Structure 1
Amino acid sequence: MKNKPLLLEILWILGCTIFTTIIGFALFGKTIFGDYVDLNLHDTYFVIANQHFLIWFFIVFSFIVYFTKENRHSFKRRLPFLIFLILGLGFSILIAKASPFFLFLPEIGKNGWTVYPPLSVHNSATTDILPQEGFFSMLLTPINYLILLQIIVIALMLFAAYKYGKSSNN
């Protein structure tokens, strides 16, 4: 059957789509099929469209599935390799689009934190919750985690390209 590899990849993508929809339904319930999801984080209120969650879930899950699936085959097959690269490129673009959002979050180790109720009301034992100054506290920021995640995704894509090139030369 000539179209069997294409049909198999369509079934894998369809399976990833169904799984991410089930996970979205398990996390958010019926609201995942509504217009938006409300998140209340500390004193900030976010309203996020549901398709953004589903796109993130789908790309991250599919990237992991295709990496493990194709790593077993040493990246010898062309169509799954191209799907993996497209998912990796989409993953990198999503990380780049999410990075400006995390720039607005207060960074650990910087001044400007507001703690409610003010710490002057509490005794001195509760002042330990303030962020610590130092080298590691500057590294442990959300934006740095996203940059590290993007470096890992690009490194996995380069590893896959190396394996594909090595297997196609033989």
Structure 2
Amino acid sequence: MVSNKKRLYIALYPSGVARNDERKYHWGFLTGPKIEDEEEVPGTRYHVKNHPIQGWVYEERHVTNVQSTVTLLARILIAKIEDERRLVASFRNTPVVQADPNWRCRAWVRAVLASIKRDGRAVGTSNLSWAEIEPLARDYVAKKAESGRYGVSQIENMNQPKPTWDMLEDKEIVP
């Protein structure tokens, strides 16, 4: 029997603070099906965002297409989901820090990865190492930017699937 477990991705978006390498990207998670052979592939986005009045807030939102959410730069496949309920509990229960002015979305992503790893049952085959994920993701998006993937000439491709790297098989699955 072929497994059809949902997938967990790290998602990178532009943060609007391009002058600061550490804060260059907004980090979050996407979940979606293993098979992505339809034009629109529904899934869910999980992230924290800095709201002007409320400060940092957790958000989970259904998306119509995990391959190409608004402003998505790239996805990094990091895990096969075993127990989605446990995974979502890790997202929801990871603290959102208000008191530290240097705390950002990437700190939350790193904390979620540690929570998933501690749980041990939310995902199966996976790479949850922030020390490996962060540099790979940054390098991947930088190379795509250098190649012109996000340039003005690519506007007609805005709704096309975004670049996706599979850390489980160490290969690009969407250029």
TM-score over 0.5 for the pair: no
Q: What range is the shorter-chain TM-score in?
A: under 0.3
* TM-score for both structures, normalised by structure 2: 0.21
Structure showing the higher helix proportion among its residues: 1
* TM-score for both structures, normalised by structure 1: 0.22
| Larger-Rg structure | 1
Structure showing the higher strand proportion among its residues: 2
